[in-house]
């Protein structure tokens, strides 16, 4: 279909380096010695374990339940025995540890009972959303937002357009390209399922012009119900707001959401996961991962979630050499990690081995303004950097720090080699932590005040009941009342001192 396209501001033309890995058929990664499954592989609340050490589990079995609305369950990636539930290193820029369930595979790979749904079009959209939620599906483009939340928003608000994002714009990453080439039916049918789940009027699958084989594979399966759009290559066109701008000409306002404009967007791999969940009854327990860069055999792998990163790299001829860096994700938006024994999780799309990116020392900002020219969100990266460096968080809010999509364009063009995005990420994390701490302190203070008020009311009620039921004389009654009043005053004074003390501590 010939659709009018609109440019988005900023952006870059970057050498793609996808030819290293996208020409080879993907490999199914062999079972590792252990599977490490973090309880939080998504945005939202971590899952809650349903198993204990020593339990036997089957492939696809729920081993941790969702805890709240913005949460999804965790499933066993293979059959085996639970050998530990504890803190392990997880994909995190600070190398932090988090609660994980560790499985020792038994090698049998025996499936838990699964329930396919063959006629999805006859299912109520909300029931289809529940199937997708119970399958543990999140956005597989990198954000990890629970898919069912977007789907639910779609049935609660009128959806004009569903966009399936196959724009794999970051260098080196080709896992979606390979997935589409090898399993185009999963993408197309999964797209139709998601469309039914949100009752969208129109549906678009978008991908860039450097994916001609993927485009051809999809085109063979698509009818008039889906528009297939090929876009010029430009980074970061795969960003949600940028792709909406390109396809519709509309801009998502600061603080707004696509659903407010009648748009829902999901990643191509998410559509494939939805197909597997509905038609085959399979939860999200594996994904395609690109292993590229300085390895002997760069290619895409089909990886069970929880597989150690080192195990994946070894399948592609990884050799540990001095000066190498390991990036989970691409060179623009990925995170540098020091521990290759951390697991592949739902949002891990690439393992990049490199010794060339971001190695030069930082120098002072020369105020050249190149970062402003390439920012796709029309922000002022210089000011964000200065205020982040000074920890001036109020000013960072004024300059819309949280509109930054961390695409890395500003860092890429900076002649002073300043890792601008790292400063933004750290500031975002600190602001979020401060807000959570402040919210927790406010909640504790409110509970303290409410408790003391309740105790005062209860004591007053008891005093009144004692007074009403007593046979003491009028003078004794007055003395009794006066004593009760004095006790109440003393408690209120103590309460006031406690509030002042809490304020001083904050």
Query: 461-491 burial, b if ≥16 CB within 10 A, otherwise e?
Result: eebeeeeeeeeeeeeeeeeeeeebeeeeeee
pLDDT digits (tens, 9 = 90+) for 313-338: 999 999 998 888 999 999 999 988 88
- Positive or negative CA dihedral for 468, 469, 474, 476? negative
Kindly report the CATH class assigned to 18-288.
alpha beta
Cβ atoms of 322 and 316 closer than 8 Å: no
Cβ atoms of 151 and 129 closer than 8 Å: yes
Low-confidence ranges of the chain (pLDDT < 50): 472, 504-506
- What are the backbone dihedrals phi and psi of residue 113, each rounded to the nearest 5 degrees, phi first? -60, 125
Cis peptide bond N-terminal to 394, omega within 30: no
Cβ atoms of 272 and 190 closer than 8 Å: yes
Average pLDDT, the chain: 90
CA distances to 124, 181, 191, 275, 457 from 199, in Å: 10, 27, 12, 17, 53
Q: Where are the beta strands (DSSP E) in 106-144?
A: none
Closest CA to 37 of 51, 54, 17, 18: 51
> Two tokens at 315?
């399948």
Which residue blocks in 303-419 are alpha helix, DSSP H? 309-315, 370-374, 381-389, 393-398, 409-413
User: What confidence score (pLDDT) does residue 378 get?
Assistant: 95
User: What confidence score (pLDDT) does residue 146 get?
Assistant: 94
User: What confidence score (pLDDT) does residue 338 get?
Assistant: 85
User: What confidence score (pLDDT) does residue 124 get?
Assistant: 92
Q: Where are the domains of the chain?
A: 18-288, 289-354, 360-506
User: What confidence score (pLDDT) does residue 287 get?
Assistant: 98
Which residue blocks in 257-360 are alpha helix, DSSP H? 268-279, 309-315
Reduced to 3 states, what is the DSSP secondary structure of residue 233?
coil
User: What confidence score (pLDDT) does residue 46 get?
Assistant: 96
């Amino acid at each position: 279909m010939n659709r009018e396209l609109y440019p988005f501001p900023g952006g870059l033309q970057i050498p793609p380096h996808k030819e290293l890995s996208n020409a080879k058929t993907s490999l199914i990664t062999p079972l590792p010695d252990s599977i490490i499954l973090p309880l939080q592989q998504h945005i939202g609340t971590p899952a809650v374990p349903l198993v204990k050490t020593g339990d036997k589990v089957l492939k696809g079995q729920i081993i941790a339940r969702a805890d709240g609305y913005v949460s999804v369950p965790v499933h066993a990636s293979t059959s085996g025995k639970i050998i530990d539930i504890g803190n392990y290193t997880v994909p995190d820029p600070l190398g932090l540890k988090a609660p994980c369930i560790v499985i020792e595979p038994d090698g049998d790979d025996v499936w838990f009972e699964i329930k396919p749904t063959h006629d999805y079009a006859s299912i109520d959209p909300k029931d289809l959303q529940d199937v997708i939620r119970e399958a543990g599906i999140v956005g597989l483009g990198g954000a990890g937002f629970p898919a069912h939340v977007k789907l639910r928003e779609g049935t609660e608000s009128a959806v004009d357009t569903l966009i399936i994002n196959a724009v794999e714009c970051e260098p080196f990453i080709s896992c979606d390209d390979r997935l589409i080439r090898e399993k185009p039916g999963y993408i197309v049918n999964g797209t139709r399922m998601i469309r039914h789940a949100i009752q969208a009027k129109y549906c678009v699958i978008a991908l860039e012009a450097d994916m001609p084989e993927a485009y051809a594979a999809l085109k063979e399966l698509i009818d008039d119900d889906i528009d297939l759009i090929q876009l010029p290559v430009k980074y970061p066109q795969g960003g949600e707001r940028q792709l909406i701008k390109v396809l519709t000409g509309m801009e998502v306002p600061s603080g707004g959401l696509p659903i407010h404009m009648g748009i829902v967007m999901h990643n191509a791999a998410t559509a494939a996961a939805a197909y597997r969940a509905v038609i085959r009854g399979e939860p999200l327990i594996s994904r395609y991962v690109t292993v590229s860069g300085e390895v002997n055999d760069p290619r895409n792998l089909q990886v069970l979630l929880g597989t150690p990163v080192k195990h994946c790299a070894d399948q592609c001829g990884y050799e540990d050499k001095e000066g190498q860096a390991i990036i989970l994700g691409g060179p623009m938006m990925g995170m540098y990690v020091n521990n290759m024994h951390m697991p592949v999780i739902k949002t891990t799309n690439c393992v990049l081995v490199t010794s060339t990116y971001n190695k030069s020392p930082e120098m002072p900002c020369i105020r050249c303004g190149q970062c402003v020219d390439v920012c796709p969100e029309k922000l002022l990266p210089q000011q964000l950097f200065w205020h982040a460096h000074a920890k001036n968080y109020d000013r960072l809010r004024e300059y819309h720090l949280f509109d930054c999509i961390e695409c890395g364009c500003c860092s890429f063009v900076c002649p002073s080699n300043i890792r601008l995005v790292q400063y933004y990420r750290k500031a975002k994390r600190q602001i979020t932590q401060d807000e959570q701490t402040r919210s927790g302190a406010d909640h504790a203070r409110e509970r303290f005040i409410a408790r003391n008020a309740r105790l005062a009311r209860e004591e007053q009620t008891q005093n009144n009941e004692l007074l009403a039921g007593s046979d003491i004389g009028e003078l004794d009654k007055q003395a009794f009342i006066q004593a009760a009043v004095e006790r109440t005053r003393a408690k209120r004074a103590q309460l006031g001192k406690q509030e002042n003390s809490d304020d001083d501590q904050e």
